[in-house]
Structure 1
Amino acid sequence: MNAVDPSAQTLKPARLLAESPARFPGESAEYRSARNDLLAEEIELRRHIERVAAQRRALPPGGIVPQDYLFEGEAGPVTLSEMFGAHDTLVTYNWMFGPQRERPCSMCTSLLSAYDGEMPDILQRVAFAVIGRSPIDKLVAFKKERGWRHLRLYSSGGNTFNRDYAAEVPDGGDNPAFNVFTRSGGTVRHFWAEEMGPSTADPGQDPRGAPDVMPIWTVLDMTPGGRGSDWYPELEYDTVPR
């Protein structure tokens, strides 16, 4: 469903919408009152997310991409402009799997595993490229190991894309990065990048963006234990709890 700018409408107060008719077995009046208070905040959060998305869409034109970067794709060399395919929007994710790593970042892998399942839907709207600095054969080998079917992988080992758009240094570690590019009349521009990280993190919180791009955290945030402070996804587990 397309987002609508809530600032262009007269909205009912969230408190009025939050008088939920839902009742669950055994719940107390205290629980229902607190739950409706929370529901009002959830409605306000949804509205704020919509306002931020509208503000993002209204950004002025970003910078023209300085070069048509050449990548190594799964089927051979591919330029950044070619990654768009038939779309006018390209989303790129910098995968933390540079040549200095034997195995990729487990957090990136958890994220990309979720996106692989969503990719047939995502690709109906925009192009999406997963970019790592390791050789393409190394990236593809892990893709096969993981059973990913739909992600499109590209090696940036021969260009400066990661340095230019993920703030990586050649001899340093990897940085995760989301970037969005647009193409119009043959001109490719940078539209938006995720810029929240350690420098913008609040005390006691792991660095995160907003909205959080990790589906796993969205699910865990709805539970009493939350996301926790000392747990991260692993690349593989000895046993899977049942």
Structure 2
Amino acid sequence: MATQTTLIPATELAARNRARFPNESAEYRQARNALLAEEIELRRHLERVAEMRRRLPPGGEVAKTYRFESEYGAVTLADLFGERDTLIVYSYMFGPQREKPCPMCTSLMAAWEGKLPDIEQRVSLAMVARSPIERLLAAKMARGWTQLKVYSDSDGDFTRDYVSAGDEDVPGYTVFTRKDGTIRHFWSAEISNEMADPGQDPRDAPDPDPLWTLLDTTPEGRGGDWYPKLEYRNG
């Protein structure tokens, strides 16, 4: 039986904070320590949510043989696991009707590109889109990416079953597990547009793109009318 640990109240931990900065006022320090207590509570809540996710009952067995096109030829969902027992599939918005990939998806994938060797110490990661593999590889080359693995869901079977039943060009984040040769769905991001709070874009929690986490620490925040671009020109 697991032993439940009694946590020290967040306000008490925040009171132990010794950080002080030049010329700060007593008002600032009081407000900052109150915020620190909330940050500690947020960290704890994130861990509680992660623990709930880890304790989910077994998801549905993957009964189909999903097929994709890679730069080296045809592969199945089982092949995407490689040597790992957990597979993350990110379905990004780059369907045949799009001239260019979605800037928001591209921002997220750019953050993962440099971290792939670290990620693959634990799990496998695959990028899937509905465009032909030639388009996906050309876009990958244009970004200078060398590590992310891209796959075309050319027939759309996977997309319709795990991302959008209507085969819409929307993002999806899906986790699969493999045990004793059986592949199961473990978890998918399910926060949709209908679940967005007033004045906010729909977002997962935590947000997988570190861009937004960084901006959330600034006085300007995320902003309401700014989004990543595929290209930036000076002047």
TM-score by length of 2: 0.96
The one-letter amino acid paired with 2:86 is T
Equivalent in the alignment of 2:189: 194
The one-letter amino acid paired with 1:30 is E
Equivalent in the alignment of 1:179: 174
Residue 33 of structure 1 and its aligned partner are, at CA, apart by 0.3
Say whether residues 1:107 and 2:79 are aligned partners: no
Q: Give, in whole Å, the separation in 2 of the partners of 1:44 and 1:209.
A: 18
Whether the 8 Å contact between 1:140 and 1:153 is mirrored in structure 2 is yes
Whether the 8 Å contact between 1:168 and 1:175 is mirrored in structure 2 is no
Residue 151 of structure 1 and its aligned partner are, at CA, apart by 0.4
Q: Which of residues 114, 125, 148 in structure 2 aligns to 1:151?
A: 148
Alignment of 1:66-145 (within 5 A): 66-145=63-142
Equivalent in the alignment of 2:203: 208
Deviations 1:74-128 (A, max 9, x none): 1111100011011000000001001111101000000000000111100110000
- Which stretch shifts more, 159-168 or 229-238? 159-168
SS at match of 1:125: coil
TM-score by length of 1: 0.94
Say whether residues 1:26 and 2:15 are aligned partners: no
What 5-or-longer segments of structure 1 have no aligned partner?
Answer: none
Q: Give, in whole Å, the separation in 2 of the partners of 1:81 and 1:64.
A: 13
SS at match of 1:92: strand
The one-letter amino acid paired with 1:35 is R
Residue 149 of structure 1 and its aligned partner are, at CA, apart by 1.5
Q: Give, in whole Å, the separation in 2 of the partners of 1:76 and 1:68.
A: 16
The one-letter amino acid paired with 1:14 is A
Q: Give, in whole Å, the separation in 2 of the partners of 1:159 and 1:197.
A: 21
Q: Give, in whole Å, the separation in 2 of the partners of 1:239 and 1:41.
A: 39
Residue 26 of structure 1 and its aligned partner are, at CA, apart by 1.1
Q: Give, in whole Å, the separation in 2 of the partners of 1:76 and 1:165.
A: 22
Q: Give, in whole Å, the separation in 2 of the partners of 1:193 and 1:140.
A: 26
Residue 194 of structure 1 and its aligned partner are, at CA, apart by 0.2
- Aligned-CA RMSD value: 1.3
- Which stretch shifts more, 49-58 or 231-240? 231-240
Residue 197 of structure 1 and its aligned partner are, at CA, apart by 1.7
Say whether residues 1:17 and 2:13 are aligned partners: yes
List structure 1 segments (4+ residues) > 2 angstroms apart after TM superposition: none
Q: Give, in whole Å, the separation in 2 of the partners of 1:67 and 1:159.
A: 13
Identity %: 59
Residue 66 of structure 1 and its aligned partner are, at CA, apart by 2.5
The one-letter amino acid paired with 1:111 is L
What 5-or-longer segments of structure 2 have no aligned partner?
Answer: none
Q: Give, in whole Å, the separation in 2 of the partners of 1:225 and 1:197.
A: 25
SS at match of 2:115: helix
Residue 10 of structure 1 and its aligned partner are, at CA, apart by 1.1
Report the CA distance shift for 1:159/1:205 in structure 2 as closer, same or farther (over 3 A). Answer: closer
